Amino acid sequence: MANVVVVGSQWGDEGKGKIVDWLSEQADVVVRFQGGHNAGHTLVIDGVSYKLSLLPSGVVRGKLSVIGNGVVIDPHALVAEMGRLAEQGVSVSPQTLKIADNATLILSLHRELDALRESAAAGTKIGTTKRGIGPAYEDKVGRRAIRVMDLANLQTLPAKIDRMLAHHNALRRGLGEPEIEASAIYDELASVADKVLPFMDTVWSLLDQRRRAGDRILFEGAQGALLDIDHGTYPFVTSSNTVAGQAATGSGLGPGAVSYVLGITKAYTTRVGEGPFPSEQDNEVGDFLGTRGHEFGTVTGRKRRCGWFDSVLVRQTVSTSGINGIALTKLDVLDGLDEIRICVAYELDGKRIEHLPASQGEQARVKPIYETLPGWKESTKGARSWAELPAQAVKYVRYVEELIGAPVTMLSTSPERDDTILVQNPFQD
């Protein structure tokens, strides 16, 4: 049985929501395996728009939805998100949502620390979502995190909180911030325990059973592979592994559980926050793409930086995530341009290179080498077959495939679910 991992192949915001929703309708189980409520997925179903951050997209369709151990969970944000969905008539019950007992919690002190660092001296700014994601993962790796299961044993919390605060209060003293009282953290956790615990489960075991029973599992990645803590544009990255391999580690299944990796890929490039962006167009082209593509963050509302399609980066992601095929999104945003550029390689210190180097200094120095293709005047919006696309648009898509070394398996031509050209269904690989 095919289990599909969906990852963003650029810096996030590739339009995963629609594709994940389309796939989740065919899945039995939908699993989040990394990140937290820094993600923002918009699903449009029957004209109604649902905005999800932490919850797997499957909740809207009543599918078994799982938050795996690799996710960091702000319990208050979780409860608030469920509340917002309830107002839209979507109820999330302990039968449909399972949360890993060994997942790490994001606390208010993580959120505060994230914001403090971001407002500190220039040069250290990452442009995070200020959701506390990085500090929570630091505590996980530092072996001082509070985890979901700890909410079930409140009497064990004081010792764990002391351990965590020994670290955080030292940091806060250094930053000139007041220390945090252990009782404040205890109260914060105790107040939310009853709301979270009904959803807690031994997720690795549940997923193993479902996999053996032949269920179709959809692993829903958040952010994008270029924000991966190992493979991304470090240090301008998020604090989790966002590449497809994390689907196994972040859910408790072995790597053999994954049979198809779908990379969601935007027909141009965007990025939110700081960091290198070789094909960025800080000019009228970028403004055109941003306006046409409505490039504002779902979570923070920030204006996204925009630029030409960078095939070097996506080719790299095809390798680091083992992408079998891509879903190409937002092609219609390019409609009407006289010429379209594609970055095909970089120049670094006078030499042509075919990949983005790992060094921060070199990443800042690479210059894009472009090829220019003729644009098309006709609209591609809403096309549902190749025949409806202008010849130049088809050429553009074929050239993208050639450059990145992976086929387009789906082409999305508007936010509406039926405005899709399907080449191959990843679940029926």
The annotation places the binding site at: 12-18, 38-42, 129, 143, 223, 238, 298-304, 330-332, 412-414
Is residue 131 a contact residue for ligand IMP (CB under 6 A)? yes
Catalytic site includes residue 41: yes
Give the residue with the Cβ less far from ligand IMP, 97 or 222. Answer: 222
Contact with ligand IMP (CB under 6 A): which of 200, 222, 323, 421? 222
Is residue 129 a contact residue for ligand IMP (CB under 6 A)? yes
Is residue 39 a contact residue for ligand IMP (CB under 6 A)? yes
Quickly count: other Cβ atoms within 10 Å of residue 414's Cβ: 19
Burial of 183 (0-12, 13-18, 19+ CB in 10 A): exposed
Is residue 133 a contact residue for ligand IMP (CB under 6 A)? yes
Greatest alpha-carbon span in the chain: 67
Q: In angstroms, what is the minimal distance from the CB of 319 to ligand IMP? A: 21
CA distance 266 to 279: 14
- List 265's β-bridge partners, or say none: 328
Q: Report residue 289 CA to chain centroid gap.
A: 21
Contact with ligand IMP (CB under 6 A): which of 57, 65, 96, 238? 238
Strands (E), 9-63: 29-32, 41-45, 48-52
Which candidate in 37, 110, 140, 168 is catalytic? 140
Q: In angstroms, what is the minimal distance from the CB of 408 to ligand IMP? A: 22
**CA neighbor of 228 nearest in space, from 207, 244, 211:** 244
At 200, list the tokens: 């807690």
Give the binding range for ligand IMP (CB under 6 A) out of 6-14, 43-51, 186-194, 316-324.
6-14
Contact with ligand IMP (CB under 6 A): which of 15, 68, 75, 134? 134
Catalytic site includes residue 167: no
Q: Do residues 225 and 243 make contact, with C-beta atoms less than 8 angstroms apart?
A: yes
Residues 266-285 interacting with ligand IMP (rule: CB under 6 A): 272-273
Q: In angstroms, what is the minimal distance from the CB of 305 to ligand IMP? A: 10
Q: Sign of the C-alpha dihedral, residues 47, 53, 57, 60? A: negative
For 373, list phi and psi in degrees, rounded to 5: -115, 150
Which positions make up the binding site for substrate?
298-304
Q: In angstroms, what is the minimal distance from the CB of 81 to ligand IMP? A: 14
Contacts of 86 (CB under 8 A, 6+ apart): 92
**CA neighbor of 123 nearest in space, from 223, 282, 236, 224:** 236
Q: Annotated active-site positions, please?
A: 13, 41, 140
Q: Which residues would be at the binding site for ligand IMP (CB under 6 A)? A: 11-13, 38-40, 126-129, 131, 133-134, 222-223, 227, 236, 238-239, 272-273
